[in-house]
Amino acid sequence: MLEPAPIFATRKLDSGLGWVIDAVWTDEEIEQLIGVYITKEHAVDWIAQRSTDWLEGHA
């Protein structure tokens, strides 16, 4: 059985020097993806364009 896909959320770093992406799983586990994005828009673009590939490689 396949695990339900997470919800992806952007979050500004505490330092204020970029954005990260969190995958929030149905069991409420939060997994921070590797990478820092200069702007929120870059992080949102990654979610739109690459999150499906990430999920396939994560299985």
Rounded Cα gap, residues 19 and 41, in angstroms: 9
Backbone angles phi, psi at 51, to 5 degrees: -65, -35
pTM of the model: 0.88
The ranges assigned to domains in the chain are 7-58
Q: Give bridge partners of residue 30 from the DSSP assignment.
A: 24
Q: Return the bridge partners of 32, or none.
A: 22
How confident is the model at residue 14, as a pLDDT?
Answer: 94
Q: Report the distance separating Cα 40 and Cα 20, nearest Å.
A: 8
Q: pLDDT tens, 23-53?
A: 999 999 999 999 999 999 999 999 999 999 9
Residue 11, beta-bridge partner list:
20
